[in-house]
Amino acid sequence: MHQGRTDQQSRAQEDPTIMLTLSDLMWEPEVNWRADAACSGINSDLFFPPGDDDPSPEQTRKAKEICAQCPVQEACLQYSLATNQAAGVWGGLDAGERRRMRRRIRDRERRRAS
C-alpha cells in the first residue's frame, strides 16, 4: 500500500462496491506501480489507439482482459482518475467508464455538501 492511501481506498481495493470520494483521489500519484503492470512491455496501441481512432470493441475487450489479471490494476485506475486521463484503458476501465465514475463521485460529493 502506498503512502497517503486512506483506509477507504484500501477497502475499495478489496471490495469494488465501495465508492471513493474526490478527496480520496487528491493524493500525489505514484508511478512505481508501472513496472509491475501486466501491460508493461505490451504495445501501447492496444490500450491507446493511435491518432483520433476510437478503439474497437474487440480491442477494448482485449485490453480489459489484460487489466483483469494485473496486480496493480487499482493503482493504475487511481492514477488515471487522479491525473484525469481522458483516453485509453486504465485500470480496467475505458474512457467513458472513467468519466461516469468521476461524475458519480463528483455528484455524490455535491449531495454530501448540500
Give the pLDDT confidence score for residue 39 in this predicted structure: 95
pLDDT recorded at residue 2: 39
- Inside any domain, residue 35: yes
Residue 22 lies in a domain: yes
Q: Is the residue at 2 inside a domain?
A: no
Task: Select from 78, 89, 101, 108 the least CA-distant residue to 39.
Answer: 89
Residue 1 maps to a domain: no
> Which residues sit opposite 90 in a β-bridge?
93
Tens-digit pLDDT profile for residues 52-103: 667 888 999 999 999 999 999 999 998 998 888 989 999 999 999 999 999 9
pLDDT at 30: 65
Enclosing domain of residue 38? 7-113
**Each residue's pLDDT tens digit, 7-22:** 444 444 454 444 565 5
Residue of higher predicted confidence among 19 and 3: 19
Question: Are the CB atoms for 44 and 87 separated by under 8 Å?
Answer: no
Q: pTM surpassing 0.85?
A: no
* Residue 53 placed within a domain: yes
Domain count, the chain: 1
